[in-house]
Structure 1
């Protein structure tokens, strides 16, 4: 399970140091792919494989499924963190997410998300009011 918010920096070689709390779970390898909202998603290999099987099962006759499959699978990179917990973010994935130096890495329970720091701040500002309202639709009667 991935939780929390961290602020690592992307180095000049395009490497990002994963939060220490996430390293054990990602030590066996990970998959980095394009996420929604121009962030990157990081999954364990097992979680990605499980998700990919479900996505690949969509009928080829469904145009939306083809678009999603093509974008997801063509933009995925398999990584193994080095001894210092660093991963290499490909130039294409850095471009997609607008990553420069300052990044935000968040735990999103089943996945890790990597954001450009300014994009994350803007996303938070744009959606702050929606968070309070969404509780009723997402968690009716639980909180």
Structure 2
């Protein structure tokens, strides 16, 4: 399993393309799935990771209104991309709108996925949640650190 880590600051070009960090390109070279993430960022998964997650989502009961809504948003908002020779992927206008992407972006490795953020939105998110990091660590890793 590939691990995505780090923070990078690429820019969208005039055609809505984003250059993926060089460290991520080998794993994503065979294609990737770009979808709406939480907190108005975009998630980028390898095809394999997306298929594994999507299979679980698709198994949710159709009798659940929230499951149907999540499935619709996830699957209708996902775009398959193949990075070009320079490691660029095209971000659709709908996904750019959802994430508020203008020019300056932040790309972070989030272990099993890559996240794409508008630079200002990422800065605001960091400022808002910086103090919560220690508390969250205690909840996520009780007694481990």
> TM-score, normalising length from structure 1?
0.99
Runs (4+) of structure 1 exceeding 2 A deviation are none
Q: Distance in 2 between matches of 1:125 and 1:67?
A: 31
1:95 to 94, 97, 110: 97
| Structure 1: unaligned runs, 5 residues or longer | none
Deviations 1:82-123 (A, max 9, x none): 000000000000000000000000000000000000000000
Residue matched to 1:107: 109
CA distance in 1, matches of 2:76, 2:47: 16
CA distance, structure 2, for counterparts of residue 58 and residue 38 of structure 1: 23
- In structure 2, the partner of 1:13 is 15
Structure 2 distance, partners of 1:131, 1:71, is: 29
Q: CA deviation at 1:34?
A: 0.2
Report the secondary structure of 1:78's partner residue.
strand
Residue by residue over 1:4-41, the C-alpha shift from the partner in whole angstroms, topping out at 9 and shown as x without a partner, is 00000000000000000000000010000000000000
Where 1:113 maps in the other structure, the secondary structure is strand
CA-based RMSD: 0.4
2:66, 2:144 → 1: CA distance? Answer: 33
Count how many residue pairs are aligned between Structure 1 and Structure 2.
143
Q: 2:64 aligns with which of 62, 81, 88?
A: 62
Question: Which ranges in structure 2 are unaligned for 5 or more consecutive residues?
Answer: none
Q: Distance in 2 between matches of 1:72 and 1:106?
A: 20
Counterpart of 1:126 in structure 2 is 128
